[in-house]
Structure 1
Amino acid sequence: MKQLKYIFCFLFVTIASNIVVAQDMIVTNDGTIIKAKVTKVGATEVEYKKWTNQDGPIYTVKVSNLIAINYQNGEKDTFSNLPSNSQQIATTNTQATGNVQVTVESLSPEARTANEAIMAKLNAPVELVYPEKHKDDIGKKDAGAAYIVYGLKSNSVIANEDIEIIGKIGCLYKENKNAPAQWKEGNISTSVSSGSVGKILSNISSDLTADYSNPAIKISIRNKSDKILFIDLGTTYIGSMGNVTCYYVPSSTSSSHGTSGGASVNLGSVAGAIGIGGAVGSLANGISVGGGSSNSTVSTTYSQRIISIPPRAIIDLEPQYLFGNEKKKICEGAYLDLPYSNYSYIFIPKIYFNKKAERMLVGDHYKYTEDNSPIQFNFIMSYSYDECCASTKTLSAYFYMRDMLGCYRTNLPLYRGKLPVDFVGLSSWVYVKSWNVNESFPKQ
């Protein structure tokens, strides 16, 4: 059957050569027919524009991947690239479509060096810096707060020859319960200036919750290549503590006579989408998106599943909650909880220790491994060289709580102990409580 497909391609080229068609036809050696406007035929590459978007970007395809080009004026070019046997056909088809999971072992030497350099920077050892006058607190006072520093697991691919994944920790802050969440980056303990102290004094609880409520992560994608790359949001996920969030939420908005309304469209399922080790299993179901239908009275626009990144450019994905935005247990001894009864839209991570047996002190430094870390999350993304995303590569980054460093929280959001000014890793802040509780956060 596969060989018949290639025989058909030859017949198509032969028949089409006697018919004046509406566009140029590029026939690849896997049987794909591309409707195009060919702009240049070189010794090794053919340049073309998509027939449906002739004002758009120029695409290239290698001559070695082509069987023929049938031009709209009836002329044709043929190439001797038809596979000679079924084994060659199977190999070509395997490479042309489907998904490839990029692993550390599969990286080229250059890409592996780049990946290792980024991981080494994010996994560099860290200690808190204490002012000289507060060093007497170390090992004596209960920690009122702690920094969590996240590391990357050894099987992470945060960069290859095309892509670099950049993560930033912040929060999704809400002015009131019904307001949209706003992304805020950084933390108060290293960024408060003298000019803002008066404001903090006048409304301290608001400022504390503003910078540390609803911790979130924002992922940016850098295109390292000279090609346009396409991200499939339908197969791009953030997973945290057993919860999986897909970056693509299918929806539509319809307008009629100047009015509009939104409707959910085929949400699909992401349950079980990420398996052990980060393999992508069942993909989110979707519909044809990025376009719409219209008539004289109604126009419908669908949300966009495929997004493009220009060469050497960076795009930001929508920030996502690290632990959600509702009261919940994160893990043993850790909760996402309300700081005050009147702030029902604010949730702050709190770590609890048994006051008699486990208490955390200022200066304590708990270190965790990839295997015993109680807090973990991951980011998985798929990209393609083709906007149809018929053939994709998947990169997976696995994060874990590597360090927890105790510090003393004063009445101001200024801490006796802070991260070094040259710290470039990922960190978030948590409250620490030493109470008489039955469960306690695991110490290492």
Structure 2
Amino acid sequence: MKISRLHIDGFAVEDYQTITKEDIAGGDLLLKGGNRSGKTLTINALLYALYGPRATLGIQPGRTSTVEIQFDNGHQLHRGGGGRSYDDGTEEVEKEAAEDLLEELIGPEDITTLQFVHSETDKLPLSRLSKPQLIQSIRQIIGSNLQQELEDYRDERDSLEQEIEQVRRTELAPVQRELEEIDIGQVESRLEKIEKLQSLIDTGRIEIIRDRLLENEELNEELQDLYDRKRTIEQELRKKDRQLREARRYTQEVNDLILNAIEELSCPVCDQVVAESTANHRLDRGKCPHCGQDRSLDDLKTNLRSRVESADDTVNQLEAGIEELKEEQAEIENEIDSIQASIPDLSDLNDLTKFTLEDNNYDIEAVAERTKNELEQHRAEVDRLNTQKQSLEEERDEIQDSLDEMDESLEQVTERIDELERDSFEEIVMSFQEKWSENYEAPCWRIGP
């Protein structure tokens, strides 16, 4: 579509209350005039009509500003008084619907605004591009034969990055979580105590320990109280350790989510990737970055920040709580060691031996039977956990090997992209200068000095 009529009323400055241009014809639209003749004002008015006050250059339109554009196909665009409408001759739509229809007809804002060349050089779209982005734009303009090859490599790079992230998230992470949940150390520690108790039974030392405890009821109760407190602390420590792992995992998952959102946005339903430019454009207009529907993201952003901060606070609180419990545990163990040091016959006593005696009413035969059963169960459990751990480690290593291969391929593709961009830069600049001069000189004789 091309502009055929333009009407500007009350836009920004008093010197140009009304500008109307009828029957605009030709190809490209060129604005010519002296200083303060309205060139930049007209460009700003066009940008305002198309995309609102956010797109203007150093000028803030008032609520009474009105801009009307008529296109060569008869469609009309109107913006002013805080509203906007688009009329295609059969139907008039307003507000967001008008912007959606306009974008569908002329393209997204970041592409359309590239066509506006004005005197605010520091605000020109090209001036805001990075060197790689600028080179890519030049290639597109001059039709470099390297462009397709570069695009193919970039597509391959993007595909590899998505595949790597998918494997890390859906294959590697679950295996690592399973490995973290396997607590062989705790089972082995209890097995070691059971084996020690079995040794006390085999050597007859268990009877001496039993006799000393029964001889001194006050000492027995004191030790029982200390071991009860120690067991309670150990249970609380295990609970907090699990909570801490979960909180750290949640924080890491949120951080990964934010990182992924920066690099790419994928639909949570179909897992299709939404282009970053499209997502940013939708966000700027207050729409959902996934589906483009109108919605406020303020609550979502606030909720996400709140959850991240809450998770961080939880981690800090759990770490502080664990440290306090460990200090209390150390104090109790020192008290137990002090008591046992004063009575040599109790030097081999530990919490498992004490609780086993207590639970079986100090009956040595019952203690021996229970110890035998627990010994078999815990040895079998250690074997099972070791087998499970080995299997998961092998699975993890296979996934990691696959990721390493993909990372290597990604590195090679990235190096090839860098090589193509670097080696062709001089040729691209020269070709662009020639094409720019050719296109610039063509209209110069018509513009005049």
- Greater share of residues in strand: 1
TM-score (norm 1): 0.22
TM-score (norm 2): 0.22
Larger Rg: 2
- Greater share of residues in helix: 2
Return the structure number with greater relative CO, CA threshold 8 A, min gap 6. Answer: 1
